[in-house]
């Protein structure tokens, strides 16, 4: 494993280092990609004074993209099948100009896996891991169709003063919800968002969502229910972090509704220099809710350095979902598992009460970012968050890892260096992240993985202001399960290209 890690790191670095960038234009491009591959828009439509100009002065945003994946299990057996995936496609978004505060936007996304040799067969499609978002497993299984076309965004906006209302299909980035746009199609929501910036240095938002469309879906679905009325595991919310006990059949058996809403209210304040305060309330009424508080304070140090300590605390409250789905995300303690003896390592079988605490120290100077982090989940229930906003994200989460199971502790360290900003290699940056995950062995009966060490590496190159390439590598060295089988060790490789226009 160690030799493979060194060889892979050197090879990936060499590929990126041999590339050179074209000189960037002095003016900012229409759009840019952040390090997490989320798009930052620099040029937006202006306000106009008549209806015809509202559409005439609108702006189109295009994106072509390619993603490829290879997942190599250390123990390749029938339950751990080596897998690969490939996606080719893009998106076209259009935003009108604003007339009397009103504007509209729409985003059409498309992806296909056209080459049989670069995708899993229809029979093995369920074994695909990281690359599953390049197609719809539901569509492949039921119709053999590896392509997806979806109107993931379509909304109306109204702005008055410093308040904005958005109604329809949209991206909503928060601590609990994310577009997580690292594959082919983003995670989006259907509903209404109100954002207010009337108070200086303060942003307050309220969101009411009636449906969600995960990245590998072509239709919007319930925000929390696992499986559909036909019992199809991919016919509703099938996110990797979904609570499988909160299923259609379990909600029905409990006499509960299978249609739910997601409410998010958050506030951010930056009134004090260097201090950022965040408070979030999220709820699926009648199921589960949570309050998340976060404090980050930037301290200036000599010689241009800064040190930012940060703390995030999440308190999850059971609002009825525990009696339906049980304490574990894997679903082994739900109503349909009444015959299961014991609590599978959990303290209380029918609860979703939980807590999660995180802390980090971030050192920055120019092109350098270095961080250490820690997270600990209380020993009660798992954290429920199937909306692509990872609870430990930014603190201890490594690529493709889910470390918010009950009684899990994680220690992480990372270094991110921008060689382009340092004047060494134009457009090139690299990230190295190492995480040690300490899971509760008693909960392996519920499906929780074994303790593991993860080395995660990103190598990113901006050839031009519009063309980006990224290599991602994840090396996971896990202990054997209590059964004596190594089910959790693997190597993962990703390559992606993005062109914005």
- The CATH number linked to 294 is 2.40.160.10
What was the pLDDT predicted at 38? 82
Q: Which residues of the chain have pLDDT under 70?
A: 1-26, 78
What secondary structure letter does DSSP report for 28? P
In this structure, are residues 358 and 374 in contact, taking their beta carbons and an 8 Å threshold?
A: yes
How is 51-91 classified by DSSP, letter by letter?
HHHHHHT-EEEEEEEEEEEEEEESS-SSSS--EEEEEEEEE
Distance (Å, whole) CA 349 – CA 18: 55
Distance (Å, whole) CA 417 – CA 279: 30
Distance (Å, whole) CA 459 – CA 399: 14
Q: How many separate domains does the chain show?
A: 1
- pTM higher than 0.85: yes
What was the pLDDT predicted at 411? 98
Q: How far is CA 82 from CA 77, 119, 123, 124, 126, in A?
A: 9, 12, 14, 10, 11
What was the pLDDT predicted at 26? 45
Q: Hey, which residues does 473 pair with through a beta bridge?
A: 457, 493
Distance (Å, whole) CA 244 – CA 137: 17
Distance (Å, whole) CA 73 – CA 129: 11
What was the pLDDT predicted at 34? 87
> Any alpha helices (H) in 18-170, and if so which ranges?
51-56, 137-143
20: containing domain: 2-500
Q: Hey, which residues does 55 pair with through a beta bridge?
A: none
Report the relative pairing of strands 47-48 and 148-160 from DSSP bridges.
Answer: unpaired
């Amino acid at each position: 494993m160690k030799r493979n890690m060194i060889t892979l790191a050197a090879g990936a670095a060499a590929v990126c280092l041999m590339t050179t960038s074209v000189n960037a234009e002095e003016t900012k491009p229409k759009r840019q990609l952040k390090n997490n591959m989320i798009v930052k828009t620099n040029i937006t439509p202006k306000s106009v004074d008549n209806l015809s100009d509202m559409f005439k002065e609108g702006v189109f945003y295009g994106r072509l993209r390619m993603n490829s994946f290879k997942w190599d299990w250390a123990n390749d057996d029938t339950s751990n099948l080596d897998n690969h995936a490939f996606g080719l496609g893009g998106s076209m978004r259009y935003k009108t100009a604003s007339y009397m505060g009103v504007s509209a936007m729409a985003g059409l996304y498309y992806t296909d896996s056209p080459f049989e040799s670069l995708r899993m067969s229809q029979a093995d499609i369920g074994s695909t891991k990281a690359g599953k978002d390049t197609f719809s497993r539901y569509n492949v299984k039921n119709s053999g169709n590896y392509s997806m076309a979806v109107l993931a965004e379509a909304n109306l906006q109204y702005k008055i003063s410093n308040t904005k209302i958005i109604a329809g299909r949209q991206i909503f980035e928060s601590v609990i919800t994310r577009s997580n746009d690292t594959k082919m199609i983003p995670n989006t929501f259907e509903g209404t968002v109100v954002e207010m910036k009337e108070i200086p240095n303060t942003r307050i938002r309220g969101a009411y969502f009636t449906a969600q469309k995960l990245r590998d879906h072509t239709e919007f679905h319930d925000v929390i229910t696992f499986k559909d009325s036909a019992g199809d595991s991919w016919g509703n919310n099938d996110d990797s972090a979904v609570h499988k006990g909160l299923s259609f059949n379990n909600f029905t058996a409990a006499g509960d509704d299978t249609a739910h809403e997601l409410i998010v209210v958050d506030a951010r304040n930056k009134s004090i220099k260097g201090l950022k305060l965040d408070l979030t309330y999220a709820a699926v009424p009648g199921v589960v809710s949570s309050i998340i508080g976060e404090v980050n304070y930037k301290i200036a140090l000599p010689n241009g350095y800064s040190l930012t300590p940060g703390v995030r605390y999440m308190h999850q409250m059971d609002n009825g979902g525990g009696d339906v789905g049980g304490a574990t995300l894997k679903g082994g303690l739900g109503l349909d598992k009444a015959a299961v003896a014991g609590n599978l390592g959990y303290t209380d079988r029918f609860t979703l009460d939980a807590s999660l605490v995180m802390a980090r120290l971030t050192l920055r100077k120019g092109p350098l970012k270095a961080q250490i982090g820690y997270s600990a989940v209380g020993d009660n229930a798992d954290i429920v968050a199937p909306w692509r906003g990872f609870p430990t994200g930014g603190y201890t989460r490594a690529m493709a890892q889910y470390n918010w199971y009950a009684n899990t502790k994680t220690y992480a360290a990372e270094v991110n260096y921008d060689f382009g900003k340092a004047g060494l290699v134009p457009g090139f940056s690299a990230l190295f992240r190492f995480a040690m995950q300490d899971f509760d062995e008693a909960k392996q009966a519920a499906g929780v993985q074994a303790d593991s060490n993860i080395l995660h590496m990103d190598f990113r190159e901006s050839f031009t202001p519009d063309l980006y390439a990224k290599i991602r590598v994840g090396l996971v060295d896990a202990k054997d399960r209590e059964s004596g089988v190594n089910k959790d060790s693997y190597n993962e490789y990703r390559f992606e290209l993005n062109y914005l226009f």
